[in-house]
Structure 1
């Protein structure tokens, strides 16, 4: 009895070894046959992209906005706190290069000294000229008084002498009146010149004060609380020490709102047709592999752009994060799993198990100790698997590569 049992076990073992060997034995060229079972469950199609976290709302920290008034086209950033620095309102952020403004301040001071000297000279000239005119008026007044006195004392003089004195008195009165009118005119002229040179002095003083105020504004302070991030130029490069700002783009840095974050990513021409607004997204972060945040597609670009360094067209996709996390910072690399569709309780097999010939889709199905070529009807697919609509059932075993010797076997078609 024991011998019989041992014999049965031995035969079964040999058969098992043979089956295992036949199942996994390599072909003549060394190929290993790999199989898998048809699985039933939830089928998810995802588009996986890499992106960058950024804030949807940020406060710009600007340099001086009146550079154009002083004919300054651009100015370099001389110093800037490290990106990621936490600041409070009023804290130091950076400093701009004051070289060009300092040159204008020196010129303005020289111009002010020249204008003040001209003002003083005009003031002295005016004082002297008007003093001379006032003395001339006094001299004419004295002469007229003297003539009046002589006329008064000439009662008994000949008529000719009296007439001459009357003529002299009339002439003195006319000269005095004319001199007084001239004095008034010269005084107005002098006042006008003083106003002119005084206005020039005031103008240069104001310009100098404005330049000094501008110089003070070259030291940048934060106007809010938050974390400093470097502002990006139109070409994607960040403004940093040595970069320039202009009157048209005076932003030096920014304070992002970390409670309002999004992921900016790009999809290729094949994947973009699957992506639309409202699709759910699972957003991961390379810096924190254990963090995954739910998101939603908020914008899909209609026009593609060339990927930097290649001719590949990509389309921008914006993903809003539905949650916040204190560890997430702008600029972090994100891994975005955009769920394009999800179906429940469906059959699926790996893409490698599907073959086709003459528009017929089929699989190599394991049937006991043999292999059959079975036509299947497939549905949607993702990057790894495809849905089986008809032709297979759950737990059926299919080959992931072609078994040798079955290429000419007829395909069992669907009913």
Structure 2
């Protein structure tokens, strides 16, 4: 086996060999340095330009301190406990209607009238019969006085034996007949008056009167309609108007069977109308209907208003908050409140970050008492958007972007 030639195997130690070996390492280090400088510059530029931070926001709201006393919430409707559909007992054509929807009427005020010329004529005839009976009574009384005088003279003449006994007996009979006629005339007057009263009742039945002070809610008939309260004939009407006593308005709310133990009579409540969200009215549980709705497993609870309010109308939707105790007067006004997570601490002070036009503005705030799940706060306004749970590095004036949920 021949020996290998190793004379060509040698290490170059000249300047060119050193430059060729060192060049790749220097190039790699150069790229590392350049990358670090670029990243640092980008961070500096991003910091100076205020890079957009991803945040969540919440809205500042108005809350009522009564939420701290709320045991249970329920929904219902405003109803009038005194409500009536007015109609006539008589049947006829509606001749006059003196009210419209919203008209205020007093008790016994005539609100409508049916045609009543026939019953009015009957009433006039009945009154005339009374006058005839009274005239007959007057004539009978005159005859009675004459009979009494004749009987007296006959008695005196009989004692002097100037007349026969038969003449005396005739005078006495005439007196008895006159007295009997008086009784008949008096009975005739009573009968005539009864007839007149009956005719008056028939006339009154053509007049539709308000049974109590109230407000006209609906108008169901117009002048010219046939009113048949006890029939369902075609083209006829039953009730003419519907009236309600606005002083008896209450809220009827359905309470779940499982929450009945939280409700009792005379319990304080707060009523909120859907038509007036900012309005809070005092109320009290007036009564609880002693039966449950089997289909809904609810109990009907009636809540009366502590004071009447002209803005409350029948059939309005309402929310009822049943309270553990009455709300103090000082806590009836709404307060500005927000979620506790929107309040941060910077330099030992409470602040909030208001989001506006893609940036945040740091504002000092003062936190107050809790209102339900919120906390009362001063320094911001209702409707402001605040950053929820702001990051420690969030700064005043920094650009933000809403986080996607």
TMscore range, shorter length: 0.3 to 0.5
TM norm structure 2: 0.41
